[in-house]
Amino acid sequence: MEIVSTCSEMRKLVLDWRRNSNFSICLVPTMGCFHEGHLSLMRTAREKADRMVVSLYVNPTQFSPGEDLEQYPRNMRKDIHLAENEGVHCLFTPDSSEMYPDGFQTWVEVTKLSKGLCGKSRQDHFRGVATIVAKLFNIVQPDVAVFGQKDYQQLQIIRRMVEDLNISVEIVGYPIIREKDGLAMSSRNTYLSQEERKSAVCLWHAINRAHEMVAAGMDSCSELANHLREYIKTYPATRIDYIFIGDPDTLEKKETIEARTLLAMAVWVGKTRLIDNTILMGTSQN
Ligand code: AMP
């Protein structure tokens, strides 16, 4: 596995792969501290192209002031080992002087899709995400890129950006990988205390409850959201940021749960903000 930290080296490597061997390339963008979710993305990437690039960069522009940029878990040595085991061909580990050199002032904004859900409480988050992903696409020029459905809004924003900016890359979404008790894996789970870890499973239990209620005929988005809100409140140390039930493509709110309706949630457990989502399959014909 090659470890590359500058954009020019990265470009040269992919150019060599393409020119000399006509290799196709798949990119997996990450912020590191790999868990099974990241590793599953890598396994999928390996099947999608001849060469796999994994980027590892804790992107400061997607953290709002006061968020956890400084504490964000980092473990480069372990990540290198894990990536090597997954057959990653190149780990791209730029630093901020490389990604945001002096004078940087160009941003990518996916306006409407970035406004609701996580965009409401995380100001400029998705502008940071779209910008760094666009930069990575330009540097690596992958044929395919793999993203987790765990960050559902992010995935939709990237799909939109690729469409709107005519970026020639196939976007693959990968299902959420969970712990045994259902908690969606996340680098941020390491922040949870033992007691908070017990409450963290509330998102998964709420998802299951939602599926059960919809299967039993519940078709009102607001009633379901209210029910889930009350349910989550019963778990100690939780504070709901949002519960969204609406259109999985436009991310607009809906009134009725029809076939394919997105349930997405963000819940604070202590000082850790957790997200999760699912697609509800309503039975309503409206
Ligand atoms: P991150 O390092 O948290 O920025 O995540 C890098 C990529 O891994 C993103 O595309 C995430 O959506 C994806 N990812 C993170 N957690 C999971 C998970 N539990 N299951 C599947 N994909 C995930």
What pLDDT digit, counting tens, does each position of 141-152 carry? 999 999 999 999
**149-160 average pLDDT score:** 98
Could you give the strand order of the β-sheet that contains 238-246, starting from the edge strand earlier in sequence?
A: 238-246, 261-269, 272-280
Q: What is the mean pLDDT of residues 96-118?
A: 97
Cα dihedral 51, 7, 73, 113 in deg (nearest 10): -80
Closest CA to 55 of 149, 165, 133, 170: 133
Ligand 1 pocket: which of 133, 151, 207 to mutate (most atoms <8 Å of CB)?
A: 151
The minimum-distance atom of ligand 1 relative to the CA of 185 is 19
Nearest CA to 152 among 54, 285, 280, 284? 280
Amino acid at 149: Q
Q: Rounded to an integer, what distance in angstroms lies between the CA atom of residue 276 and that of residue 156?
A: 15
Ligand 1 pocket test target in 31, 41, 190 with most atoms within 8 Å of CB: 41
Ligand 1 residue neighbourhood (C-beta within 6 Å): 30-31, 37-38, 41, 147-148, 150-151, 174, 176-177, 184-187
Task: Locate CATH 3.40.50.620 in the chain.
Answer: 2-174
Residue-averaged pLDDT of the chain: 96
| C-alpha separations of 266 from 33, 192, 269 in Å | 21, 15, 10
Max Cα distance, the chain (Å): 60
- Answer for the pair 34, 55: CB distance below 8 angstroms, yes or no: no
- Mean pLDDT over 13-34 rounds to 97
pLDDT mean over 182-193:
97
Phi, psi of 54, rounded to the nearest 5 degrees: -115, 125
- Is 125 annotated in the active site? no
CATH 3.40.50.720 fits 2-174, yes or no: no
Query: How confident is the model at residue 58, as a pLDDT?
Result: 98
Token representation of residue 234:
């019963």
In this predicted structure, the answer to whether residue 53 has a pLDDT above a threshold of 80 is yes
| C-alpha–C-alpha distance, residues 142 and 230, integer Å | 44
Fold of 187-277: Pantoate--beta-alanine Ligase; Chain: A,domain 2 (3.30.1300)
Q: What is the pLDDT of residue 286?
A: 47
Task: Name the pTM for this structure.
Answer: 0.97
Beta bridge partners of 53: 27, 90
The span from the CA of 266 to the CA of 281, in Å, is 21
Q: Pinpoint the residues of the chain covered by CATH 3.30.1300.10.
A: 187-277
Could you give the CA distance from residue 254 to residue 247 in angstroms, rounded to a whole number? Answer: 7
CA of 92 to the centre of ligand 1 (A): 17
Name every residue whose Cβ is closer than 8 Å to that of residue 178 and which is 6 or more positions away in sequence. Answer: 184, 185, 204
Distance between CA 150 and CA 207 in Å, rounded? Answer: 13
218 has pLDDT over 80: yes
- Banded pLDDT at 285 (limits 50, 70, 90): low
